Amino acid sequence: MRKGNPYGTHRVIEPKGLLPQPAEKIDNDMEIFDNEVLIDVEVLNIDSASFTQIEEEAGGDEGKIAEIMTGIVARRGKHHNPVTGSGGMLIGRVEKIGPNWKGKTPLQVGDRLATLVSLSLTPLRIDKIKKIHKDIDQVEIDGKAILFESGIFAVLPDDLPQTLSLAVLDVAGAAAQTAKLVKPGDKVVIIGAGGKSGLLCLYEAKKRAGVTGQVIGIAPREKSMKRAESTGYCDVALMADASDAIDIMEKVEEVTGGAMADVTINCVNIPNTELSSILATRDGGIVYYFSMATSFTAAALGAEGVGKDVTMIVGNGYTKDHAAISLNIMRESTVLRKIFEDLYT
């Protein structure tokens, strides 16, 4: 059996010398190397920014969405959206484990798991697109995928529906990072508070900021604003366009009495929201860009241009115990469990 590199560099076709994620094309032949896991794929959860872009390009037509997705995989060997640069994650059942695979978590053939590494680095083969769920960014397929030795994953829990678990795990990093960043008494702004990552962040922000803190949820439409407000985890719910930086700044200034946010968390799936996050935040505060639609050039130069001294954090989708933290929210919060079940099951 062929010997593989723990980080999957043996799968890179071009350019040579790169890791699988930044590579233009990787090998999606499903004959495994000695340290790989073969997965029989059931569902792809396309990340929100990527699915939104694909749906817009396809004009909402499901046949064209399928054509774009299969085209990406055919060209690149992975579902790595060339426009957004992002991917998503998958659910599947373990079909085969290489004899030298040494993952961080025990795994057996037959286990149903969700990968916690991006589809933008995962060797993938789509044999058939069976059903597209546009409302939840999920696509049922027949296909195969490869998990590298370094790849993280979660074996799906028995007490939560599969589609709900997938939706939560897709954005697990957001809630776990919020738990790390928010301190008692903080003023926290969550932009995109009505979406799945935003809702999880609301819960953790309220839990960590406590009664002396203030959690402000911002959503673009009345329906999503009302959804965020209905959780009870917003002290203030605002409706605003995340790309209108001045409007966001003025609204946050008003509800915080000019203090602005100690922590701002950006969970939106559209571009041009970098300055809104920066201007909502006080000097010395923190901006966490979970959104994969973020331009970090625009964020860095934007902060410089408006003279804001803020710490900006790249939206790392992984942090220690992020899967356990996020799935546990569904057990702790009956309110969010009901919302997520209505949306994703």
- Predicted TM-score (pTM) of the model is 0.79
Residue 5: C-alpha distances to residues 16, 19, 56, 75, 78 (Å):
14, 10, 37, 23, 18
Q: What is the pLDDT of residue 321?
A: 85
Q: What is the pLDDT of residue 112?
A: 92
CB atoms near residue 343 (< 10 Å): 16
Q: What is the pLDDT of residue 219?
A: 97
Q: What CATH class is the domain 172-344?
A: alpha beta
Q: What is the pLDDT of residue 332?
A: 95
Please give the Cα distance from 138 to 216 (Å, whole number).
29
pLDDT tens digits, one per residue of 66-114? 999 999 999 999 999 999 999 999 999 999 999 999 987 789 999 999 9
Q: What is the pLDDT of residue 292?
A: 77
pLDDT tens digits, one per residue of 281-310? 999 999 999 987 889 899 999 999 999 999
Which tokens in the block code for residue 241? 């366009």
**111, 142 contact by CB (below 8 A):** no
Which of 79, 77, 75, 99 minimizes the C-alpha distance to 87?
Answer: 79
Q: Where are the domains of the chain?
A: 9-156, 172-344
- Bridge-based pairing state of the strands 88-97 and 37-46: antiparallel
Q: What is the pLDDT of residue 53?
A: 95
Per-residue pLDDT of the chain in tens (345 residues, 90 and over written 9) = 899 999 999 999 999 999 999 999 999 999 999 999 999 999 999 998 899 999 999 999 999 999 999 999 999 999 999 999 999 999 999 999 999 999 877 899 999 999 989 999 999 999 999 999 998 899 999 999 999 999 989 888 888 888 888 889 888 889 999 999 999 999 999 999 999 999 999 999 999 999 999 999 999 999 999 999 999 999 999 999 999 999 999 999 999 999 999 999 999 988 899 999 999 999 999 999 998 788 989 999 999 999 999 999 988 777 888 888 999 999 999 999 999 999 887
Please give the Cα distance from 57 to 61 (Å, whole number).
9
Q: What is the pLDDT of residue 296?
A: 87
Q: What is the pLDDT of residue 104?
A: 76
